[in-house]
Chain A
Amino acid sequence: MNDGRIYRVSGPVVIAIGLDNPSMYDVVKVGKLGLIGEIIKLDGDKAVIQVYEDTTGIRPGESVVNTHSQLSVNLGPGLLGSIYDGIQRPLDKIQEQSGDFIERGATAPPLDQSKLWHFVPKVRNGSEVSSGSIIGEVAETGLLSHKIMVPIGTEGKITGLEEGDYTVEQKIGEVIRGERKTEIKLSQRWNVRSHRPVLEKVAPHKPLITGQRVIDSLFPVAKGGTAAVPGPFGSGKTVIQQQLAKWSDADVIVYVGCGERGNEMADILMSFPELLDPKSGKPIMERTILIANTSNMPVAAREASIYTGITIAEYYRDMGYSVALMSDSTSRWAEALREISGRLEEMPGEEGYPAYLGRRIAEFYERAGMCTLLNGGTGSITVIGAVSPPGGDISEPVSQNTLRATRVFWALDSALANARHFPSINWLNSYSLYTDDLKEWYRKNVAEDWEAIYKRCMSILQKEAEIKDVVQLVGYDALPEEDKITLEIAQSIREDFLQQSAFDEVDTYTTIKKQGLMLRSIISLDNAYRSALSHGASAEELRKNPVKQKISRMKFVKEKEIESYCSEMEGEIASIGKKKT
């Protein structure tokens, strides 16, 4: 077999000639250091390669070897709790090998090759299996049972399964169809650039409960849905993403740190093992997979990182789990795309981004969804993508293309962030297109009259914005009493309900039940105020009512005390309405 050689080096783009039968997207090893790269263009005998590592010091004339395989990930037990770079190199193993700074050309298998997993078969030998059939399981962590599935494209009779301890590369059985025998192992591989097939996508009908009030109550995302979080720097995108990773009720979390800060990944690595899942009491790290390709790590690997992440997410979805993938930030991914496109001297589209930006973004989000699986089960992937628009201006191409592909929009607002209103999700600009799909769920699980409460809350906030415009012209004192009450209640919704501290022990997570009670109390107060007004009270007097203090403390009341706290308060609120002054 002939090796090729390097013809040209320009940053992350290398051109090789004389490669052995190159195909698009083949993975190649470049230069003496064996840097990993991928063929992204063929032109005569020249192959254009994007290299996933720094190319400083690489010279024309060095060899290039074609591996004849595509960029793929290794899927199997041991993924949970791991931290990988953009091309699934395990960063902890790489540290053992090459120290605190990442050396080029370092490689290590993504899954522990020596660890033994206890495999328990779930089907009888001799039964018919096909793509995605679950044939057994392994207790991967205390939180999750890892289903071992027949690789896609394999079908026939399963034989040789036996309970016992195996490594990820050992044979656990065989699938036989006629003359063809396929070895089955605990692990399998999948090409990151193509999606894992499902039977069909179905309409999402359950919300992803995140414990964040502004999200769950006002702008929910469905399990299997997609959400975009665009915001200028300092508006709290990362805190929101991390809160979702910590508290959302998905079975598996894939967190992709794409071109972001190294210290943030250190923060996650420090805090996640200590945080306990509210349901099971186990460390949430046991359900989390981290992909960390920080901003100073090679650009091409950043481009690959979100595909690595979503492929792992699809694998767990295929086991029948609900998976949530957070990607922070897709703008950095798009910039990587732009940088490589620029080096290829492609004709640029808007703002220098390649013309295929929109298609690539849509393709990525299309890998989300609530699905009926090949094995008949149901699984879902929720994708939440942060977007970092330059200057906070969302008219730019990455934000716009993302908004077209996603159904929930959490608009982060720097004015709110500056006033330390967090999460700084603007309630007027944000939307969720799942509200209707999820109506039924909220009616059953939160409150019969949820829809009315929700609508009342939104209309008060809307009205507040209008009144504020008027105040700008005529001053507060000139307002009718009704409007003063609206301002009062809107302020309470904003400060006592929407604002939520990620750093307070109790406030950081609110169950959907408590959210319902909190919002109901505020709306009851609104009703009571209005009835008091009709009995002749003034807004000024009502404002001084001590029950307001209690409303503002609700968020700090512990989960188990909230019910009695609210029902007690409900009495006080009702008496305001009746009072004649």
Chain B
Amino acid sequence: MGDIYYKTIKKITSVLLFVEGIKDAAYGEIVEIKLGDGNTVRGQVLDSREGLSIIQSFGDTRSMNLKETSVKLSGSAATLNVSTDMLGRVFDGLGRPRDNGPPIRSDEQLEINGSAINPYSREEPSEFIQTGISTIDCMNTLVRGQKLPIFSGAGLPHNKLAAQVARQAKLRSNDEGFAVVFGGMGINSEEANFFKREFESTGAIDKSVMFLNLSSEPSMERIILPRLVLTTAEYLAYNQGMHVLAILTDMTNYCEALREVSAAREEVPGRRGFPGYMYTDLSTIYERAGKIKGRKGSITQMPILTMPNDDITHPIPDLTGYITEGQIVLSRELYRKGIYPNVNVLPSLSRLMNQGIGKKSTREDHRNVADQLYAAYARGIDVGNLIEIVGEEALTESDKKYLKFSAEFERRFVSQDYYEDRDIEKTLELGWELFGGLDMEEMKRLKPEQIKRYGKWKDARRETD
């Protein structure tokens, strides 16, 4: 592509440049935009036709002008230099060091958009990850290679939960932890520092790579950043055989950046102004989690998003939920009750749970205990709602037991300390203890032989004999 600088910019908007006279810019090609004062900003070709290219600038278009600003084609799509030297380092949204360290030198350059994994090559994720958090391990089990997002709300402790998962997550067969690739999009510096401190204090920093784009930095970089995270993750997983946990926060900021570009391009908007292709776009991020047959490493994703106005039907959580393999939903109500982690188990779900639990990996009663906890808690919540209308006197004996159960469940099962690492046996035992407060005959999700073995009712053994 040589050193041709096109000075034929016709129009500039807040994020787009319309450049005339370019004959053959590749779709998706990276360009360098040179300002009058010699500063450069990177950009990418969004639409290319003979004689006109539409370029999206990754930086601010402030002080660009039609006269002096020029554009140079790089000849290739966006790539990232990858190497194991990246471990322990911090980069910005375009992959430049932000920790005063040297840039990464490597012979290996990967295209950041990646390619789709052939579904035929995928290995079904099935290895149980013990996070030490009861609501996740027992009721929304995470398995290696899964993408399980946290749906949160503004001001809720999702970062704490993600950090606790990153710290405690391990397989039961060995103590091998995860390498963490962290992507922070449009987060504030306090959040960024929280994660840095967390990783440093646990020593995890040596096995982690951080990409940070702060809320004060160009929003366009947020569109690139998750792709850098996943390209790094893929390199570590599939080329270096590591097990990677990719944490992406906050996907809401990512989607808003996407909307900003879409609006600038004057595209027909879908729901709430988000572009119609947002589902496809998000899937090119989330679907990069997984395991591949015959390769050692894996990528487990834990994206975090804050639901605007705690609304789970908002397009961002909605489209995410349709792609990811479940979701962990945080509740404001539980948070107000002082419960940490404030996981609302009812709308939470792990789709890959069944593959990772049971006799071989956890315990044979795992599925049944989880189902019974769900059913009983849902009933307890229903009863709680009923009280508001009819008052407590109108409840049946059995209703009262469920009401008590749900309160106990929140207080003892959901709630745990930030540093409490409960193993799965302890979690299941806790479940059985809670069932003890209900009538044994109503435990339809539990199998008789399980009740006999684990039941805490006085007559459990006798009755089922």
Contact = CB atoms under 8 A, between A and B. Distances in A.
Contacts, number: 228
22 contacts: A10-B27, A56-B27, A56-B111, A57-B76, A60-B23, A61-B50, A101-B116, A102-B117, A233-B318, A234-B321, A263-B125, A266-B124, A295-B287, A338-B276, A351-B271, A388-B322, A391-B312, A391-B318, A417-B349, A420-B375, A472-B386, A472-B389
B122 A265 contact: yes
Interface in B109-131: 111, 113-125
Interface of B: 23-29, 46-50, 76-77, 111, 113-125, 145-146, 238, 267-271, 276-277, 279-280, 283-284, 287-288, 290, 292-293, 295, 312-315, 318-319, 321-323, 325-327, 346-347, 349, 351-352, 354-355, 367, 371, 374-375, 378-379, 386, 389-391, 393-396, 399, 441, 444-445
A418 B27 contact: no
Given A59-B27, A342-B267, A476-B394, A100 B47 contact: no
A167 to B, nearest CB: 23
Contacts of B114: 101
Contacts of A418: 346-347, 374, 378
Given A102-B116, A473-B390, A476-B394, A60 B375 contact: no
A245 to B, nearest CB: 16
Given A91-B119, A91-B120, A476-B396, A419 B276 contact: no
B379 to A, nearest CB: 8
B27 A420 contact: no
A494 to B, nearest CB: 11
Contacts of A259: 279-280, 283
Tell me which of A102, A233, A348 has the highest count of chain B C-beta atoms within 10 A of its own C-beta. A233
Interface in A327-355: 332, 335-336, 338-339, 342, 348, 351-352
Contacts of A351: 270-271
A297 B116 contact: yes
Contact of B77 (A56, A60, A474): A56
Contact of A342 (B268, B284, B390): B268
Given A9-B47, A234-B327, A57 B28 contact: yes
The secondary-structure label for the interface of chain B is mixed
B356 to A, nearest CB: 12
Given A7-B50, A99-B118, A352-B270, 5 more contacts: A60-B48, A234-B351, A338-B276, A390-B313, A476-B399
Interface string A471-486: 1111111100000000
A177 interface: no
A8 B50 contact: yes
Interface string A255-276: 0010101110111011000000
A505 to B, nearest CB: 12
A352 B262 CA distance: 14
A266 to B, nearest CB: 4
A295 B279 contact: yes
Contacts of B270: 338, 351-352
Contact of A296 (B28, B269, B287, B322): B287
Interface in A33-74: 54-61
Given A83-B119, A101-B118, A102-B115, A263 B390 contact: no
A294 interface: yes
A59 B25 contact: yes
Given A60-B49, A296-B116, A473-B389, A263 B346 contact: no
Interface residues of A, number: 77
A9 B116 contact: no
A95 B120 contact: yes
A348 B268 contact: yes
Contacts of B47: 8-10
Nearest to A552: B444
Contacts of B280: 259, 295-296, 299, 335-336, 339
Contacts of A238: 351
B116 A477 contact: no
Tell me which of B27, B367, B399 has the highest count of chain A C-beta atoms within 10 A of its own C-beta. B27
Interface in A247-306: 257, 259, 261-263, 265-267, 269-270, 292, 294-297, 299
A103 interface: yes
Given A8-B50, A100-B121, A100-B295, A234 B26 contact: no
Given A335-B276, A352-B269, A418-B346, A262 B290 contact: yes
Nearest to A475: B394
A335 B3 CA distance: 41
Across the A-B interface, the 6 shortest Cβ-Cβ residue pairs = A475-B394, A391-B313, A295-B283, A8-B49, A56-B28, A419-B378
Contacts of A388: 322
Interface string A6-34: 01111100010000000000000000000
Contacts of B315: 390-391
A495 interface: yes
Nearest to A295: B283
